[in-house]
Amino acid sequence: MADQVSPGAVAGRPEAAPGTHPAAADSGPETFHGRGVSWVAVSIIMAGFLAGGIALVAGPLWWLFWVGAGLAVVGGLLGMSTHIMDDWY
């Protein structure tokens, strides 16, 4: 246990100035990646899969299943047209 780092000296994190919040000293990575339109596309795809899954469990309700499938396709096309895979950085 002698090889542990002293308290407050975490590798890569600067010490916070007195009177400031410790998180203010570390800019760190963003909380999420991607653009807003990418999140909208993923949300549409997830809503489509959720609707399709509920339709299969609750019946099956084929009209709701196909609406969900259509939503998933529309979300996928939106994602492809806005180059959703280029958002990773």
Tell me, what's the pLDDT at 46?
98
The whole-angstrom distance between residue 18's C-alpha and the CA centroid of its chain comes to: 34
Helices (H), 1-89: 22-25, 36-57, 62-81
Mean pLDDT of 51-56: 97
Tell me, what's the pLDDT at 76?
97
Mean pLDDT of 67-88: 94
Model confidence pLDDT, tens digit, residues 17-51: 666 555 555 566 666 678 899 999 999 999 999 99
Of the listed ranges 19-28, 59-68, 72-81, the one predicted with least confidence: 19-28
